A and B are shown apart, each in its own frame.
Chain A
Amino acid sequence: MTEEIMTTELKYSGRVAQIGIYFRKFLRMFVYQSDWKVLPIGAIIAALITLVVGKNMFVTMEGTTYGTFALSCACIWNGVFNSIQVVCRERDIVKREHRSGLHISSYVTAHMLYQLLLCFMQTLVTLLICAIVGVHFPEIGIITPLGIVDLGITLLIITYAADMLGLMVSSLVRSTTTAMTIVPFLLIFQLIFSGNFFTLGKADFVKNFTISHWGMDSMCIIGQYNSLPMTTLWKTMVKFQDITVEDEQPLHDVVQYMRENDMVDSFKVWSGAQSGNPVYDSTVANVWLCWGALLVMIVIFAIVSVVALQLIDRDKR
């Protein structure tokens, strides 16, 4: 009897086979668990953002700064919410399945593939909304021939990195309540510490650990930020043109002169060139640096997820 039943020598489904099993399971859940809802939600978020800041994105330096920051935040929002509950809501099930033969690496990889698909669809939706709203996409790409493709890849990587961050948190915590409590802190961290809007002083190095920083940088690089006109200086000059200095209005004279000689646009381009940032130089190396940083984050988040779930057997009631 013992010999007949004990099956220690038998081989069971390997890691690759299990990835397939779980990937298909998650695909079914896309339909049954209404995961598809992330697409219209993503579309609404993209629409709201691009309606407000999309007009001047990739048109002026200021518009690009605001627009890319908002778009980057939207991607982070989408990504984090895609995955923040996916593991912790079924933690007990995963523990039982792990005890009966599930490979954690397969489970996490299946999630990664499924989430990649989800992020890809969200990116397409976001690009579509941007196009509908009339966002001026960069025409020439840096890595690929088309700017829109480079931008799409960037949006995908940002969303995916945030998604993996959510997956990592979901793997670390034991309940959906805890996961959802952590989300605001994650998002605030990404917003505040991106280093592009707020001065961080001695904590400036922290920006290197944020998805928003690298995401925004890569979008600015792809959007030819350093070649874009800057409007702030011109607007300031116009605003203060009536200032009188020793019975003269020098600013007014300059503004008038530039208007009469059709020099306003070239002035904006000139002022943009003066305040350019070498980090935003549109070079292949700069894009790869940003993408590379995000890819490294993705890998780290995935590894932490696997390691955290490997310890799932220690979970107590």
Chain B
Amino acid sequence: MLMQWGYIGAALFDVVVLSLALFILSKKLNWEARWKAWVPGARMYSWGESLKVYRDGTVCGVLDMMYVLEMVVRIMIPDKEYVTVLALLQLILFVFVFIYRVRLFLELLKLFGRGRKWILLYLIRDWLPILILGVSNKYQPRHETIKEEHWQAGMKLLPKEDELCNAVPLINEGLSIQIRERAVREFGKKRYLLDDIALNIPERSLVLLLGGSGAGKTTMINAVIGYEKADATILLNGVDIYNDYESVKHDIGFVPQQNLIRGKDTVMRTVDDAARIRLPKGMSKEEKRKKISEIMELLGLSSGKAGLVAKKSGGQLRRICIATELITDPVLFILDEPDSGLDGAISREIFTKLRQIADEGRIVIVITHTPDRVIDLFDKVIVLARDSGRVGRLAFYGSPQEAREFFERDTMEEIVRSVNGKEEGGEGHADEMIEKYTKLVVSGHADEMIEEPMKQVVSGKGGENA
């Protein structure tokens, strides 16, 4: 019993001294509410917040609160049986609390420019080095080490004079996209990923989705098909994809970045099962067989179709994925890097097939990192760029030729480079281009700019060179 109380006393002492150490340190960390150092949970959250490590701070805060709560319960309920269970719980909690606190402490050391040997002090008593850093004038934080722009990424939207979502109306033909915003909540903080994207894609279009790394290309296509919903309205031939997904789900084909197929099944069975599930009941077995055969032939999968998926090459895997989606003749077909891991010749072949699919009256949207070798096949280009608030926005939508004129660049890769941030090796023109394009659309000039190519597309002459 004495030991039990001795243990609880020591633990309470640690809790109090840690709060004291954080209270002293909080001045150097510029906490707005220093009293939080005395509140279990809040003290860890504030610690993490001041170091801009929200996730660790929040997790640590929750764990800290549970740890202290558990200790209080132990004092209040002296029942032996419960104490044993609670001690076990505390032990488990301790492991998590320890790991997350060490992570916060390492960030603190980074801020104060101290070496890792300080961790030894931390291991003696967690509050000891915090107290030293807080009390001693010798140690001062180097706030410049925290890169504001990184932790603020997507935390707020930049003010806009005009909005594309207001300027581009939703239409009932083709694919009509209005993404007002796409945001995620990370430990209570809202982070914006996309903002103000509006465009209308007509049928028979092969569309290239361009943008630098982190510009939100995948986020956008996931939002378009409702895979990860946004604050948006997406109409596919007048049907709201978000509100009436059931009625259009068989009309949407989506090949994501990773190959979503089971490795331990044969190629033929993989495509066949997809057909059985996705093709309408009314289709006869013969028709289905013919359809599968056509798709396999189109994508060059006929030979080796009895082989296991896992044994196939990267290119073949991509084609199997495309086949499982293409089997339904989707009205909207979206492919995220279908050419990744493929050599130029096969890649060209796949894009040519996508061109054929688009020419059959479908809308095909493709993300690729090697656009220039196949740009002649595309009707339209969507350029996404990350603005200075690090939120993905629409920087351009039009034909490839118009894109070259708009950005005053010769190639698509140069266009991407022009809107990429300087820290990514780009030219950092994103804000400028977003504003320029928005103004163009709002003023109505964009319609004129894309009018002619649209006419070509509607009349069936897909492709830039058509």
Contacts and interface: CB of A to CB of B under 8 A. Distances in A.
A7 B250 contact: yes
A96 B256 contact: yes
B288 to A, nearest CB: 11
Contacts of B269: 25, 28
Max chain A CB contacts within 10 Å: which of B184, B203, B276? B276
Contacts of B8: none
Nearest to B227: A99
Contacts, number: 99
A-B pairs with the 10 shortest C-beta distances? A10-B280, A33-B264, A32-B264, A8-B247, A11-B281, A2-B237, A96-B260, A93-B260, A5-B331, A1-B361
Given A1-B361, A25-B265, A29-B262, A6 B251 contact: yes
Interface residues of B, number: 45
Interface stretch (A12-20, A125-133, A157-165, A270-278): A12-20
Interface in B230-256: 237-239, 247-252, 254, 256
Nearest to A5: B331
Interface of A: 1-2, 4-8, 10-14, 17-18, 21, 25, 28-29, 32-33, 90, 92-93, 96-97, 99-102, 201-203, 316-317
A93 B260 CA distance: 5
Contacts of A316: 184, 228
B228 A10 contact: no
A36 to B, nearest CB: 12
Interface in B253-289: 254, 256, 258, 260-262, 264-266, 269, 273, 276-282
Nearest to A94: B260
A6 B237 contact: yes
Contacts of B228: 316-317
Nearest to A18: B277
B81 interface: yes
B427 interface: no
25 contacts: A2-B173, A2-B203, A6-B331, A10-B250, A10-B280, A10-B282, A11-B282, A12-B279, A12-B280, A13-B276, A28-B264, A28-B269, A29-B264, A32-B264, A92-B258, A92-B260, A93-B262, A99-B225, A99-B227, A99-B254, A100-B250, A101-B250, A201-B81, A317-B218, A317-B228
Given A5-B251, A92-B258, A29 B265 contact: yes
A101 B261 contact: no
Interface in B421-461: none
Contact of B265 (A1, A28, A99, A317): A28
A14 B278 CA distance: 11
A317 B249 CA distance: 20
Interface of B: 81-82, 85, 173, 184, 203, 218, 222, 225, 227-228, 237-239, 247-252, 254, 256, 258, 260-262, 264-266, 269, 273, 276-282, 308, 325, 328-329, 331, 361-362
B84 to A, nearest CB: 10
Max chain B CB contacts within 10 Å: which of A12, A33, A201? A12
Contact of B249 (A21, A100, A201, A202): A100
A28 B266 contact: yes
B224 to A, nearest CB: 13
B239 A101 contact: no
Given A7-B280, A28-B264, A317-B222, 7 more contacts: A5-B237, A5-B251, A6-B239, A12-B281, A29-B264, A99-B225, A203-B81
A28 B278 CA distance: 20
A12 B264 contact: no
A12 to B, nearest CB: 6
Nearest to A10: B280
Given A1-B203, A18-B277, A93 B264 contact: no
A186 to B, nearest CB: 15
A5 B329 contact: yes
B256 A12 contact: no
A5 B332 CA distance: 10
A8 B245 CA distance: 10
B441 to A, nearest CB: 25
A13 B277 contact: yes
Contacts of A1: 203, 361
Contact of A12 (B203, B262, B278, B308): B278
A303 B239 CA distance: 33
Contacts of A10: 250, 280-282
B282 A17 contact: no
A32 B277 contact: no
Contacts of A90: 262
Contacts of B81: 201-203
A12 B278 CA distance: 7
Nearest to B276: A21
A14 B280 CA distance: 10
A6 B330 CA distance: 9
